[in-house]
Amino acid sequence: MQRLVHLADDESSTDALGAAVAQSLPARALICLRGTLGAGKTRLVQAIAAASGVDRRDVVSPTFVLIQPYQGRHTIYHMDAYRVRSDEEFLDLGPDEYFEEVAWTIIEWADRVEGCLPPERLDVEIDVVGPTSRRFTLLARGPTYEAVLRRLQAALASSRGEQS
């Protein structure tokens, strides 16, 4: 499995990461977010959605509605498993329909439904490392997402003016 670690010093750095992720994704993608309360899961989703043409103010954590769709240049399904009590409850939401659709499906608190997730996906672990800084560890599970990480690494290097 390929891994990429990215340190974001502040919210604008998180926004830049989200834009680079959006630029690197295929038409159908599954992104699974993990992190503590306040780690920045929703902030990353806002950045990805904004890069797809969605007004970031419309993107809120779907904790109570569980699934929130957004339409920009890509369809985005934003899921939140925080209040899901079991794999069965998650499966009742019909996640396979979303996983198979040509869309970006992004799940916050994905660790709570690990047993229901397809093996091929992009896992993102977010760690708080300072008052405004976060460490994003992106793990490619499968060849599609290994290619995503290669494109992402190139996009991040390009945004910093580096050669990849």
Task: Given CATH 3.40.50.10330, say whether it is the number of domain 2-159.
Answer: no
How many CA atoms lie within 13 Å of 129's alpha carbon, on the beta-carbon side? 14
Q: Are 144 and 55 in contact (CB under 8 A)?
A: no
pLDDT of res. 162: 64
Question: Considering the entire predicted model, what is its pTM?
Answer: 0.94
DSSP 3-state of 46: helix
Per-residue pLDDT of the chain (164 residues), as tens digits, is 799 999 999 999 999 999 999 999 999 999 999 999 999 999 999 999 999 999 999 999 887 788 999 999 999 999 999 999 999 999 998 999 999 999 999 999 999 999 999 999 999 999 999 999 999 999 999 999 999 999 999 999 887 776 54
pLDDT of res. 154: 93
pLDDT of res. 125: 98
Task: Report the distance separating Cα 124 and Cα 137, nearest Å.
Answer: 6
